Amino acid sequence: MTSMSRARVARRIAAGAAYGGGGIGLAGAAAVGLVLAEVRLAKRQVGNGSAPHVPNAQGLYGLGYSVPGEPPLRLAMLGDSTAAGQGVHRGGQTPGALLASGLAAVAERPVELRNAALPGACSDDLDRQVVLALSDPARVPDVCVIMIGANDVTHRMPPTRSVRHLSAAVRRLRTAGAEVVVGTCPDLGTIEPVQQPLRWLARRASRQLAAAQTIGAVEQGGRTVSLGDLLGPEFEANPRELFGPDNYHPSAEGYATAAMALLPTVCAALGLWPADEERPDVSRREGFLPVARAAAEAASEAGTEVAAAMPSGPKGPWALLKRRRRRLLAAERVDEPVGGPHGADSAEN
């Protein structure tokens, strides 16, 4: 599918989400049904049948940057198992911990991490998660990172409904004063046991949803980063290294790759990235595009950021497409968080 075709499909899905439609399918209902069956088979092949274990990573990171009287930055993670960090054994290996440590280093301020993500969640669980994230009006997150979408595809949630829930979550968080960064639907075509031609169909469905998610999130004031094949061709080139023990969820190195791509956008949303890097770099094919076109291009290239630029243009809202340089994050170098009310032992989340 070309970027122009994907842009048209994404625009239709986003429009349906905004106006209550629900009849548009991802890559066709029959194709998604086949993808669903194949992915569930893959899960049975690679999973161990045990209850998901998610290390508790909540707590305070970057304590060495503490200044008396200055509160820490607050980071909240929302979404599914990839946001929660399923598949690794230590809290410091989860994407939330990696982002909190990286953000603390860039901001030179402690970062308090709260994780409301739930393994197995679809986008319709975001309403509950947003309530948790905003439960204390005195501690509204400075930035929320949402990673969602894979379960929507495998559970055949209508894409318009999926985008409607995501858009509502972004809108509520932005209204409360939080910046929002969405890691869009990952590429299910990278799951190793999924065979062709269903691997191609899974990739197509994932990218269609990712593009539509981008339109919905950006129009509500959020920023997106395309997760694609979980942020890099490394997953196809080195699946044994970058997938976890179940070959379905990322390993510590895989989560570090994802966090490395998300961190610059998280920092930029908080005004912490160098100003000269906020201007589009033509040499990296960055620039201003109609939001649907930007969404389609981002879905085709993992790690690409899309942010609102102009509310209207010849073809509707325009967005800034950025391909930011990634910050190196090594999972094994992340300190475990300091305990407290949301302290992180090794308990399940």
SS3 string, 166-207, reads: HHHHHHHHHHCCCEEEEECCCCHHHCCCCCCCHHHHHHHHHH
Q: Are 206 and 167 in contact (CB under 8 A)?
A: no
Q: Is 249 a catalytic residue?
A: yes
User: 124, 246, 281, 335: which is the annotated catalytic residue?
Assistant: 246
Q: Quote the distance between the C-alpha of residue 201 and its chain's center.
A: 21
Distance CA 25, CA 27 (A): 6
Q: Is 53 a catalytic residue?
A: no
Which tokens sit at 59?
A: 């707590």
Q: Are 249 and 203 in contact (CB under 8 A)?
A: no
Write down the pLDDT at residue 43: 53
Which tokens sit at 196?
A: 């062709």
User: 3, 80, 81, 226: which is the annotated catalytic residue?
Assistant: 81
Structural element, H or E, at residue 217: helix 198-219
Write down the pLDDT at residue 343: 41
Q: Is 246 a catalytic residue?
A: yes
Q: Are 347 and 281 in contact (CB under 8 A)?
A: no
pTM: 0.82
Per-residue pLDDT of the chain (349 residues; tens, 9 = 90+): 555 565 666 666 655 555 554 444 444 544 555 555 555 555 555 444 455 678 899 999 999 999 998 999 999 999 998 899 987 888 999 999 999 999 999 999 999 999 999 998 999 999 999 999 999 999 999 999 999 998 888 788 888 999 999 999 999 999 999 999 999 998 877 665 556 666 677 778 888 999 999 999 999 999 999 988 654 444 455 555 445 555 556 777 878 888 999 999 999 999 998 877 788 888 888 999 999 889 989 988 888 999 998 776 666 689 999 988 766 554 444 555 665 434 443 333 3
Side-by-side strand order, sheet with 179-183: 59-61, 111-115, 73-79, 143-147, 179-183, 223-225, 305-310, 318-322, 287-290
User: Running DSSP on this structure, what letter comes out for residue 65?
Assistant: G
Write down the pLDDT at residue 25: 47
Q: What is the pLDDT of residues 119-147, one digit of tens each?
A: 989 999 999 999 999 999 999 999 999 99
Write down the pLDDT at residue 312: 66
Distance CA 210, CA 121 (A): 16
Collapsed DSSP state (helix, strand, coil) of residue 25:
coil
Which tokens sit at 148?
A: 């969602």
User: 3, 80, 123, 249: which is the annotated catalytic residue?
Assistant: 249
Q: What is the pLDDT of residues 191-243, one digit of tens each?
A: 655 566 666 777 788 889 999 999 999 999 999 999 886 544 444 555 554 45
Q: Are 216 and 163 in contact (CB under 8 A)?
A: yes
The residue among 52, 50, 34 whose CA lies nearest residue 42 is 34
Q: Are 330 and 264 in contact (CB under 8 A)?
A: no
Q: Which fold has domain 3-333?
A: Rossmann fold (3.40.50)
Q: Are 288 and 319 in contact (CB under 8 A)?
A: yes
